[in-house]
Each structure stands twice: as C-alpha cells, then as structure tokens.
Amino acid sequence: MSIFVQIFQQKSLRMKWSEFFTSSVGRKFVMGLTGLFLITFLIIHVSINACIFADLPIFNENDNGSVFNRAAHFMGSTILIRIMEVGLFAGIILHIVQGYMLELKNRSARSVGYAVNLGERGSKWYSRSMGLLGTIILLFLVIHISHFWVKARITHALEPVTYNGVEMHNMFEEMKMVFSQPWVVILYVLGCISLAYHLAHGFQSAFRTVGVHNRKYNQLLTSIGYGFSIIVSLVFALMPVAMYLGWVK
Amino acid sequence: MLNSKIPAGPLDQKWTDFKGHCKLVNPANKRKLEVVIIGTGLAGASAAAALGELGYKVKAFCFQDSPRRAHSIAAQGGINAAKNYQNDGDSVFRLFYDTIKGGDYRAREANVHRLAEVSANIIDQCVAQGVPFAREYGGLLSNRSFGGTQVQRTFYAAGQTGQQLLIGAYQALERQVALGNVEMFNRHEMLDVVVIDGKARGIIARNLVNGKLERHFGHAVLLCSGGYGNVFYLSTNAMGSNVTAAWKAHKKGAYFGNPCFTQIHPTCIPVSGDHQSKLTLMSESLRNDGRIWVPKKQNDTRKPFDIPEEERDYYLERRYPAFGNLVPRDVASRAAKERCDAGYGVGSSRQAVYLDYADAIERYGKGEVNKRNIQGATQQVITELGKEVVKEKYGNLFDMYEKITGENPYEVPMRIYPAVHYTMGGLWVDYELMTTVPGLYALGEANFSDHGANRLGASALMQGLADGYFVIPYTIGNYLADEIRTNAIPTDHPAFVEAEKNVADRISQLINIKGKQTVESFHKRLGKIMWDKCGMARNAEGLTQAIEEIRQLKREFWSDVRIPGDINEMNPELDKANRVADFIELGELMCIDALDRNESCGGHFREESQTEEGEAKRDDAAFAYVSAWELKGEHQWQLHKEELHFEVAKPTQRSYK
Amino acid sequence: MEHYNMNLTLKVWKQKNSQEKGRFETYQVKNISSEMSFLEMFDVLNEELIREGREPIAFDHDCREGICGMCSMYIDGKPHGPWHANTTCQLHMRAYKDGDTIVVEPWRANAFPVIKDLVVDRTSFDRIMQAGGYISVNTGNAVDANALPIEKDKADMAFAAASCIGCGACVAACKNSSAMLFLSAKVSHLALLPQGGPERKNRVLNMVAQMDREGFGACTNTGACEAVCPKEISISNIARLNQEYLGAGLVSEK
C-alpha cells in the first residue's frame, strides 16, 4: 500500500527546483548544459591558443607570439570576460560535482556485477568511461591551471612584454618554457587524448540530454561531434608538440 | 435444470433491454463490495480496470511476474468490430451472423449478438486509451480482411495486436492500482474457490515466490484464466497457460461446457523433435498470398524446388475451388492432416505441408515492374522486387520463421502443420457470464459461450474485451445488488480454513509421492494421447481407449511423480505438477464429451459423421445443444443439455466447395 | 539447415532466494540438437537434474514466442544471448557449436532483485507504470475511434515505442542499470498520441520520479540498451523523454 500513498502524495506535490535538479534526468540536464557551455569555452580557448601558430614560417616567422599574447591579454582585460571566467569556473565545478554524484548513483544501482560483461557489443568504451576520462582531464586541468592561469591571474609571475605601448604578460614565452620539458608535453598530449574521447561521447550525448530527438539532427550532431572532438583536441595537442619540437619559436 | 437467463424479446433488443432493467449498486455500496479476479489477460485486466473504475474493491491475480504478460499478448492478427468504416456492407447483424455460422451453429445467439453489438465500443475505448492501431495516410483507422468473412472489419497493430490491446488494458489496470481501487497480486496462482452457503466467496491462492497459501475474500469471483489448449502438451499457448482455476471451479460445482471443442490452427511451424516444448503460430494472414501444396507422389524426398509444377498437389485449391487456400481454419487443418496421414507429408518428420510464396513473389514482382514502368525486366529483377513486396507485408513473420527453423522462407517454401491454438469450450455460463455457482463468473476464453464449435480469426480479442469492459460491469451489478447487506466474511471462516487445508493436503501429497517420473514426462504422455485420439479427428474406438489410458496415467501420476524441492519456496516443478494433475482430469472429460457428441461440427470432427467426400457432417436434429458437464465424483460426470434455438440465423450446412 | 548435435558446458548462476548468496554452478549437457531453442536446452537439463535427484534451475519464461517479455537470461555477457533483436526464448542452439561453454546469469540491477537462480523481480516496472503510464479514460467515455485522426507517421512512431515488451534487457545491459529505454518507450508511446496530451506533463515527471525511487541509475546515452533491445526500441525515445521532462519540469506552473 505504501506505494499508492507515495504516488498520491507525490501527485499533489509541487515540482520543486531542488527535485528537478536532483532527479536522474535533471542531473543529466545539468551535465548536458554545463557540457555544452564548456564546449563553447573550448572553441574560444582553442581559437586564441591557435594564435601561436601565427609564428609558423608560412604566416610570419617574426611574429614571436605577439598575436597570441595580445589575444591572451584581451581575455584578461575586460570586466565582462572576467565575469564570464567566474561563470566558467562555476560551470566546471558543477560539471565535476554533478558528474561524480551521477557516477556514484549509477555505480550503486548494481551491487552484484556480471561475470561476463557486454563490453564493446553494446557501446563504445569511451562512452562507458566518461568518469575515468573526466578524472584524467580534471588532473590535467589542475596542472594546466597551475602552469598558466595561476601565474597570469593570481601571482602575475610572468615576464612582461610591450606591444604598441601596452604592457602585458608574455604568455608565449611562458609556454615555450613550460613545453621545453618532455614529461609536460607527454602529459598535455595525454590530456588532449582524454579530452578527445570525452568529447566524442559528450558532444552528441549533451544534445540528446537536452532533448534533441530528431533522428536527422542526431545523426548530424554525432558526425559534427566526432569532427569537433578530433579537431579541437588535435589543435590543442599540437601546441606543446610544436613548441617542444621548435616549429614555433 | 440449466437456466441460461436469456432475456425475452427480439434478438437485437435483448441487451438493451437487459441493461435497462438490471439491478444497480449505488456508489457508496460499491466501495463495500469486493471482487476477486483471476487472470489478467484481456478479459481479466479489462474487467479489473472497469470494475475498479466503478468503485468496487478489486483484487486481481496472475501467475506471471506482471499482469502485462498474459498470453493475450501473443495474438498477432487483429480484432474484429462492426464499425463499417470501409463502407463495405458490414453491420452488427453481419458480424453476429458470421460468428454464428463460423461457429457451426453451436453458439448461443443472444450472447453472440451482444458481442457484435459492443464490438464497436471496444475500438473506441482502445483508441481512447492510446492503443496505436494501424492507420491510413488520412489519419483514420485501417482495416484488413480475415478468414471466414467477406468484409474488412479487422483492426490491427502490425503483427502484435494482442500485445497492444493488452498493454491498453494493463495501463487501465495499473491506473486503478495506483488509485487504490485494485490490489494486484503477481506470481500468485489460484488453487481453490471458497464456496459459502452455495455462493462463491473467495479463493485460496498460492504465492509462487514463497509457496505460502493465502485466503482472499470476495463477494464475487471472476475467472478470466484463459483456455486449456496445453492439455495437448504441444500447443501455441504459453508454457504457463493452464486449466487449474477453471478446473477448481468445476470441482466446486461449476459445469464445464463443450470441453471437446478445440481449435486447431492450420498455419503453425511444425514439430522439429522430441525436445519441442511449444508450437509457434504463423498468422492466418499468410494464407492470403501463400499456396499450400504437397508432392503428388507418396514419400517424395526431393527438395521442394526439384519437384516440378505438374507433380505438386495444391490440395486445398483442388478440393475447395471456391475458397481455395482461404477455407476456414478447421477445414484447412483437417485437409493437411489427411494428406500427411496418407503419406504425402514433407520435411524430415513427414508431418508438414508446404506454404509456398514463389507465385506471390512472381505476381507482386510483375506488378512492381508495371508500376515502376521497367522495360524488359529479367526474371531476377522480378523476383527481387516481388520479395521486397512480400517482405513489407509479412516480413516479421518470415523473420520469425527463419529464427525458429533456420530456413529462409523467401527461397524455400515454408513447412507448416496444424497445432492446437484455442479452446472454444470452457466453463458453462449464463447470459450474465455467471457459472452454475452463484457469484462465480467466467470471462473470455475461460467460458464456453461465444464461438460455438469453431472460432473465427480476430474474434478472441473481441470477446475478451467485450466481456471485461462492457458486459461484466452490468451483469455483476445485477448479482451484487442483492449482496450489499453481506459484510466481508472474515477469512477465518470454517469454509476458508477447510479449503486451505484441502489445498495444503493435496500439495503435500503431491510432493511426498517422491516417485521416479518427472512432471514433464507425464504431461508429454497426456498430450500424445489427446493429440492422437482427441485431436483433429476423433472416433468412438480411439476415444474409449483414450479414456482408459488417461485413467491409467492418472493413477501412475499420483503414485510415481517426482517433484524436487520444497513447498515453501519458489518451485516451478511443483507449480507445474499442480497444473498437470488438473489437465489429466480435464483430458478425461474432453474425451467423454467428444465421445458423446457423435457428430462433426467446427473443430470437432468425428470420423463416424462425414459425407462421402470426407467432409464434416453436422447433426442438428440430435446435437443442437451445449454439453454442460457436472462433476459427480472421480471419473463420473453428468451431462446437462442446454438446447440451442436459432431464431434468426437458421442453420445451414457449411460448404466451401 | 543441416542439423547437428552438440555437448556443452554451462555455467549457471544458482541462488536459493533473495536473501542467500549465489554462486556459479557448472553443468554438462549432452546431445543437444541444433534445432532446439535455448530454453528447450534448459528443459532437457532440468529433466536430467530432476532424474538425478538434483535441484533444477529456476528461470522465467512463458509465451516462448518472443512477445510476453518474461524470459530474461544474461547469456555470455549479453541479455537474451548473441542474436540481434531477439529474445532468449527465440534463441536457437544452432547459434552454438560442440564444446562451447556458455555462462548464464540473471539480470543484475538492484531494482531487479534475484528471487531465485535466474528469476528476478521486475515489479518495479509495474510501479513505474502506476506512476502515470496510462491515459485516464474510464470505460465507456470514449468518442468514436475515427473522431480523432492521427498523422500516420506519428501513429507509427507511437507503435514502434509501444512495441516494448517490458523484459528489462535494457536495464540489464546498461552500465548504470538505468530503466530509461523502457521508461522513454512508455512516455513516447503516449506523448506521440493526441490522447496522451492532457496528462503529458504529470506523466513524465511522476514516472521519472518513480524510476529514481526504484533505484535505477541515470542514462548516460551509451546506447547499450538499444543494441540489445529485442524489439529494437530506438534510443531517440530517451531524447524525447528528456525533452518532455524538461518541458514539464521547467514550464509547468506547479
């Protein structure tokens, strides 16, 4: 009988925000929305960082990171972007916290495991390993933030450089320094590979989670998702590699 | 004396008249009245939902793990209704007449007319519940034709009409469970009816998870427990389908009506070996396009495509030129058996005939070539296009055939053989669906009432839902109106105690036999006796032998069956033993009934009663009655006859020549 | 199809009841015909066990034609065994060859507790349905069936969703033990039809809440459910459910 009572009580209940965001679908909604938000951030991040390639011989051998440094400076100079930065961190934290809570809930739904698993016959390994991939990315993020963001925004422990009379951090130099150590380069490449797989599932999954169910669009988004995750991660990975190998100086 | 309580007046006014004059129960009193429902197929789920909506306190029981699994779910083809959406001349009268004639004039006119009357409401109700019937591009409902009729009145949902209708009824049932009007007992089996002062007042049920016996009171008890085709061991019924609930009622005084009326469906996948546990039906719609044949030569072991056209015997087209491959089920089944018995059967078992789609593929292929305006198409192109059309129409059935047999039916003709499919017989009920025990009702396939000696395709779903949604809500009120002063009887009443003790004793007797033979082996032996001697063709000699063999089998069962495990735990072997014990007793009664009815009608073919050409010969002068059997003691039954009067549909001999 | 016989080794989960711990037991089965169904092979084994005075293996099954949804074995790591879009009862032994070893486990999810051996309790699905998987129309209230034309494509999509047989393979296959494919099929079936309109919001909110209460996990769109579904229910139903839920949860005034 308790079941009937539960259902009855619940029917007369209001759908509180807290209920919405703690339901299994609500939690996923948060994951999807923050995920999409982080994807847009990645687009900006990768575009700005790609400015280092302005130094490539085919563009301007004597750029020496000026395009990149100016772009990086812009990202720290307006209040609007600083506010967005706060939002970004909030998004990341929400994505992480909610992700771990979901992972916990999902793992606890099966106390006794199988002797033989379905494995690749049912789904891709990376779609089943979002928690693991996310954790690797998180570890990478900690290192990455301490390498650059902390120095740029908190300790200001970067060499200055002046363009057109404006003094700014020489982030380009910092990158060259950081990426002169082979273990850092390997670490970054690993981080990018994790990101690629995380995105390969996360991109299209986020759209499904926020309710895109039209098959035509789903197919399109899946293809775009694969393209996006490969291109973005590849471009990111190329930076430490290019600097380490001296393609950009 | 049997009183069928058929209302007076003209046939088409009886039901209206009944509804206008039956007793009613006011809403406050309904809340005090409890109804026990056994089985949650179309009849049971719809009755539970409808009575719950009215405000009765309902307890529903099913032996499966969820009410949604009842075997109604397996019906493929469709559900009939006299909607006349196709403007092709259908009407309530035509549906009534087709059903009476299809049943070979062994059904009750008044019941069948009521069924036809409410058929249209069923479709309305189901659509409102969200049953996704097939539709035309204009958004309106689609119909198809089905065996034995000349109009298109069958509504369908691809190849799973049964599942969609059952889900509709199940949803309505679960809604009532949520509202607290229905209490659902899954994995429970009814093992006795409790009768107090001559009225059904509850049941003893066994919880199949922990083996405990439970007592449940009800002001009325509804048996919606389906048919008993599994008495043949091999049938298209689900493995769990059983006669136990109906048989317990029979033992408590409910008469059994026409037990020998069994429908053998012509298009099933043949038996492949001794290990076979059940048979699978292929929708009757396959006969619309397929041609049935056997080799002209006896014991021909050539592969089907090695047998040239002139050496093939399209025996249905030969014997019944007017209807050809579309003769009714009973006729098609007997014709297949006749050919196989005469040594013309195909396949390794020789117990099968071919259902060939080569002609249909060719015909459709040519049609497509015309439609697409392809010039000079090769044979290969025609065949490919034809296969596409056939795939679209029958793809799911062909896939199922391939899964089971491992043969590709697009390339090789399918092998088919008749199999037990439905039982027209069941508990005898009056017009109000009440058995001879007051307060005990039988609905759907569990009763005998609407299909006579042969059921038309797409009518079983119709009857189940008609009984549950639209008949019982009226007729049960007519009984319960007089019960409003009866308070719920506590289940420590001596009748409950005694009934529970009897059930417990029987179970412990069974499990303590500790013999050598498995339940399954007894069931198989029973099935073989029934199939050989009380199957598609029956004769006095065989039936007499069968009765003796079954009695012997019963003695052996009760002295040598081996049931592993304990009583107080989940024990599927014990569940099965309980059921098989009842099947054995039922088998005997079926043979007695078949022996008594020395005429051929519908699915019941007595070899003594046939025309010179080997067609069934009905004997209206001697047998226009319903046989209602009363149990008098072990191996003893008394026959009560309910005379059938045909005032509107005058009996004629069926001919499909 | 050539017919052959085979000998097999079975590793089957045995568990006396929901309280006691289970374990794998190994059985040898001999002379199994390639024409048998997988469950008939179990029948043969059980007959053998009973004759030897050993405990037979309990498993759920009923219609044995792939529609009732009662059979539920997790065979060599895949619900309903190796064939695509198939139920255990329709799996036939020609999928195996002589000498094979087959591991058979029950559905595993906390919301589907084991009752005995391979039998699990799936009443959580019924309770999800009770939370709103219906259209509230009392018997006799219906208008004429053709009074409400429904676009054929929508009706077909609703049918495709409604063809779910409620077997629970989706839950068994899902790494999160999520019931989302089942739930989304139920929600989509009714949401796609105009009859389901009036209760649309409450239905999805209440059914999801009930699913959570039953202890199923959340969906992470891995697609395992779709890959093993015997009725090929599309995973796009889950996205449709998400949309329904967000619409209801964010827009409803309650």
pLDDT per residue as tens digits for the range B469-526? 999 999 999 999 999 999 999 999 999 999 999 999 999 999 999 999 999 999 999 9
CB contact at 8 A, B282 and B269 = yes
Q: How far apart are CA C254 and CA C250, in angstroms?
A: 10
CB atoms within 10 A of CB B495: 16
Count other C-beta atoms under 10 Å from residue A143's C-beta.
Answer: 14
Beta strands, E only, B97-153: none
Check residue A10 and report its DSSP letter. H
Q: Which of C67, C115, C122 is closest, CB to CB, to B160?
A: C67
Q: Is the pLDDT of residue B222 over 50?
A: yes
To the nearest whole angstrom, how far is the Cα of A140 from the nearest Cα of chain C?
23
Distance from the B127 Cα atom to the nearest Cα atom in chain C, whole angstroms: 6
What string of DSSP letters covers C87-111? Answer: -GGG-BGGGS-TT-EEEEE----TT
B217, two tokens:
């009171």
CATH class of the B494-623 domain in this structure: mainly alpha
Residues 90-129 of C with CB under 8 A from A: 103, 105, 108-111, 127
Which residues of A, range 209-248, sit inside 8 Å of C by Cβ? Answer: 209-215, 218
List the CATH code of the domain at C5-115. 3.10.20.30
Nearest-10 Cα torsion for A231, A232, A233, A239: 100
Q: What is the 3-state secondary structure (H, E, C) of B399-411?
A: HHHHHHHCCCCCC
- CATH class of this structure's domain C122-251: mainly alpha
Residues 33-52 of A with CB under 8 A from B: none
Question: Is A219 in contact with A207 (CB distance < 8 Å)?
Answer: no
By the 10 Å C-beta count (0-12 exposed, 13-18 middle, 19+ buried), C99 is classed as exposed
For C79-120, what is each residue's pLDDT tens digit? 999 999 999 999 999 999 999 999 999 999 999 999 999 999
Question: Distance (Å) from the C-alpha of residue A46 to the closest C-alpha of chain B?
Answer: 50
Q: A206 by DSSP, 3-state: which?
A: helix
Mean pLDDT of B319-338: 89
The contacts of residue B208 (CB under 8 Å, 6+ apart) are: B63, B187, B188, B189, B570, B575
**Residue B561 falls in which region: left (phi positive, over 0), alpha (psi -120 to 50) or beta:** beta
What is the C-alpha to C-alpha distance for residues B190 and B206, in angstroms, rounded to an integer? 6
Average pLDDT over all residues of chain B: 94
pLDDT at B542: 97
Contact across the interface for B130 and C141, Cβ inside 8 Å = no
- CB nearest C1 (choices: B128, B140, B405): B405
Query: C218 — contact with chain B (CB < 8 Å)?
Result: no
Q: Could you tell me the pLDDT band of residue C59, with boundaries at 50, 70 and 90? A: very high
Nearest residue to B38 (alpha-carbon basis) of B343, B322, B255, B244:
B244
Q: Which of B486, B589, B437 is nearest to B218 (CA)?
A: B486
Instruction: Tell me which chain B residues have a C-beta less than 8 angstroms from the C-beta of C69.
Output: 68-69
C-alpha closest to that of B466 among B81, B74, B20: B81
**Mean pLDDT across B282-299:** 90
In C, which residues are within 8 Å of B178 by CB distance? 130-131
C-alpha A132/C-alpha B497 separation (Å) is: 61
| Measured distance CA(B625)–CA(B610) in Å, rounded | 19
Instruction: Kindly list the residues from chain B whose CB atom is less than 8 angstroms away from the CB atom of residue A7.
Output: 178
| B152 within 8 A of B291, measured Cβ to Cβ | no
Contacts of A24 in chain C (CB under 8 A): 178, 180, 208, 211-212, 216-219
The pLDDT of residue C213: 95
Q: Is the pLDDT of residue A9 over 50?
A: no
pLDDT band at A1 (very low <50, low <70, confident <90, very high): very low
Is CATH 3.90.700.10 what the domain over B266-419 is classified as, yes or no? Answer: yes
Residue B24: Cβ within 10 Å count:
12
Chain C hits for A117, CB-CB cut-off 8 Å, are 77
Instruction: Report chain B's terminal Cα–Cα distance, integer Å.
Output: 41
Cα separation, C170 vs B622, whole angstroms:
58
Distance separating alpha carbons of residues B295 and B346, to the nearest angstrom: 8
Domain range annotation of chain C: 5-115, 122-251
For the stretch B312-316, contacts whose Cβ atoms lie closer than 8 Å and that sit 24 or more positions apart, written own/partner, are: B313/B339, B313/B344, B315/B339, B316/B292
Orientation angle between helical segments C123-130 and C180-191, nearest 10 degrees:
30
Cβ contacts of residue A176 below 8 Å, gap of 6+? Answer: A243, A249
ipTM: 0.97
For residue C236, what pLDDT is reported? Answer: 94
Helix A24-49 to helix A79-107 angle (10° resolution) is: 140
CB contact under 8 A, A105 and C218: yes
Q: Is C219 helix (H, G, I), strand (E, B) or coil?
A: coil
Tell which of C175, C187, C234, C236 to mutate to test the A interface (max A CBs under 10 Å).
C175
Instruction: Tell me how far apart the alpha carbons of residues C253 and C242 are, in angstroms, rounded to a whole number.
Output: 18
Residue A8: the pLDDT is 45
* Distance (Å, whole) CA B636 – CA B629: 10
Q: In angstroms, what separates the C-alpha of B131 from chain C's closest C-alpha?
A: 8
The SS3 of residue C85 is coil
B280: helix, strand or coil: coil
Query: Could you give the C-alpha distances from C224 to A119, A125, B537, B550, C174, in angstroms and in order?
Result: 9, 11, 51, 51, 6
Q: Which of residues 8-27 of C touch B (CB under 8 A)?
A: 16-17
Is the pLDDT confidence value at B556 over 70? yes
Distance, CA of B216 to CA of B57 (rounded, Å): 12
Nearest to C1 by CA among C40, C45, C24, C33: C33
Instruction: Write the CB contacts of A133 (distance below 8 Å, at least 6 apart in sequence).
Output: A126, A194, A195, A197, A198
Q: How far is it, in rounded angstroms, from Cα B127 to Cα A104?
A: 42
Instruction: Show the tokens assigned to B337.
Output: 């058996």
Is it the case that residue A7 has pLDDT exceeding 90?
A: no
CB of B147 within 8 A of CB of B455?
no
Measuring CA to CA, which residue among B196, B200, B203, B198 is closest to residue B219? B200
CB-count burial class (<10 Å; 0-12, 13-18, 19+) for B657: exposed
| A16 — pLDDT class (breaks 50, 70, 90) | confident
Residue A2 has pLDDT above 50, yes or no: no
Of the pLDDT bands very low, low, confident and very high (cuts 50, 70, 90), residue A3 is very low
**In this predicted structure, what is the pLDDT of residue A76?**
76
In the prediction, which pLDDT does B422 show? 96
Q: What are chain A's partners, defined as 3 or more CB pairs within 8 angstroms?
A: B, C
Q: How many helices (H) and strands (E) does chain A have?
A: 10, 2
Asked if A112 is an interface residue toward chain B (Cβ–Cβ < 8 A), one would say no
Extract the tokens encoding A130: 């979002």
- Whether the CB-CB separation of C86 and C231 falls below 8 Å is answered with no
DSSP code per residue over B365-399: HHHHHHHHT-TT--HHHHHHHHHHHHHHHHHHHHH
Contact across the interface for C122 and B570, Cβ inside 8 Å: no
Q: Cα–Cα distance between C151 and A226 in angstroms, integer? A: 35
Written as six digits, the tokens of C89 are 């009862």
Partner residue facing C50 (CB), from B127, B275, B573: B573
Report how far residue A184's alpha carbon sits from residue B223's, in angstroms, rounded to the nearest whole number.
76
Report how far residue B316's alpha carbon sits from residue A47's, in angstroms, rounded to the nearest whole number. Answer: 77
Whether residue A229 contacts residue A42, with contact meaning beta carbons closer than 8 Å, is answered with no
Does C169 lie at the interface with A, CB-CB under 8 angstroms?
A: no
- pTM exceeds 0.90 for this model: yes
Torsion sign across C-alpha atoms B207, B210, B212, B214: negative
Nearest CB to A23: which of C209, C224, C227?
C209
Chain C neighbors of A112, CB-CB under 8 A: 22, 108
Hey, what are B523's tokens? 């069931």
Interface check for A7 against chain B (CB to CB < 8 A): the answer is: yes
Which stretch of DSSP H or E encloses residue B479?
A: helix B472-480
Query: Could you read off the pLDDT of B26-73 as tens digits, one per residue?
Result: 999 999 999 999 999 999 999 999 999 999 999 999 999 999 999 999
Q: How big is the CA angle at C225 (ends C220 and C227), to the nearest 5 degrees?
A: 120
Query: What is the mean pLDDT of the segment spanning C238-251?
Result: 91
- A110 contacts in chain C (CB < 8 Å): 108-110, 177, 217
Decide the pairing of beta strands B57-61 and B34-38.
parallel
- Decide if B621 touches A, using CB distance below 8 A: no
Cα–Cα dist B431/B3, whole Å: 9
Amino acid at B512: N
Distance from CA of B261 to the nearest CA of C (A): 23
Identify the CA nearest to C201 among candidates C146, C167, C248, C140.
C248
The mean of the pLDDT values for chain A is 86
Q: Which one has a higher pLDDT value, C188 or A53? A: C188
Q: How far is CA B294 from CA B1, B402, B564, in A?
A: 50, 21, 46
pLDDT value of residue B239 = 97
Band of residue A211 on the pLDDT scale cut at 50, 70, 90: very high
Strands B561-562 and B517-518 come out as: parallel
From A106, A118, A207, residue closest to C224, measured CB to CB: A118
DSSP state of B281: B
Name which of A109, B67, B206 is nearest C125 in CA terms. Answer: B67
> Distance from B410 to chain C by nearest Cα, in Å?
14
Min distance A203 CA to chain C CA atoms (Å): 11
Which residues on neighbouring strands pair with residue B616, listed in sequence order?
A: B610
Share of chain A above pLDDT 70, in %: 94
Residue that wins the pLDDT comparison between A15 and B65: B65
Of B277, B281, B518, the CB nearest to C51: B518
The pLDDT score that the predictor gives to residue C193 is 96
| CA-based nearest residue in chain A for residue B178 | A4
pLDDT band at A13 (very low <50, low <70, confident <90, very high): very low
